Amino acid sequence: MFRKKGKTMKMYAAIDLFKGQVVRLRQGKLEEMTVYGSDPVKTALFWQSQGADGLHIVDLEGAFSGTPRHLDLLEKIAYAVTIPIQFGGGLRTVEQVLKALEGGAQRVVIGSKLVTDPGFLQELSEKIGPEKIVAALDTQNGEIQIEGWKKSSGYSLENFIKWVEQKGAGFLLYTNIQTDGTLKGADVRGTQKVVEMSRLPVFASGGIGCTKDVEELLKLKGLYGAILGRSLYEGKISLSEIKKNFKL
């Protein structure tokens, strides 16, 4: 059903939401939050104008509280832009997922719920189709982390990939927590391992800090896309220049 390899790597801009503001965290820690704007719709339109292939929207309040808090903003952003949106953070029920899709998301990102409720993924996949489900591989020291990256799931990365493939995920999102929000470089080696382990399309996320990092990811055979966050907001990477220079 899915083609892992594409002609070009997709470039998605991250928009993390907390109390209606656009923020970024360092290694998923609320105490290390930077606010980058108070108008998420304006931010979304800007990244679209710069050539983003899609938006990766995370409801951080939802991720930490266990229930989505920004579905209204998702709807406003989706109404304003024409590029695809994938949305995650606090999605714990089929009803919440359906609301996110109805609100304009093309895909949903599911993390902790995959571990805490083993039957959820298969149920969701049968309901909406695997092509709308992104399984979050939030990884630290080779283990999948859950509950806002505060707790180990007990799953190794390899075993978890096999499991979500079997149960009906359509995409994978690999994040090395130790590099997320640090600008210290993408985990190219870890990303390559995930691409090699799975038949599913893979998004890379975390630590992408400069154009060279993007160039290194572009060398990986079969990587579907990359998600850029802090590097965009701090001007370390220009989406429009990357799209032009690498002909993406």
Helices (H), the chain: 40-49, 60-65, 71-80, 94-102, 112-116, 120-128, 157-167, 188-197, 211-218, 230-233, 239-245
Catalytic site residue from 16, 53, 180, 213: 16
Catalytic site residue from 39, 72, 117, 138: 138
| Tokens coding 157 | 């990365």
Examine the residue annotation and report whether 16 is marked as an active-site residue of this protein. yes
The residues facing 29 across adjacent strands are 26
Separation CA 186–CA 12 (nearest Å): 15
Examine the residue annotation and report whether 72 is marked as an active-site residue of this protein. no
Which position has the token pair 């493939």?
165
Exposure string (b/e) for 28-43, b if CB count within 10 Å is 16 or more?
beeeeeeebeeebeeb
> Which residues have a catalytic role annotated?
16, 138
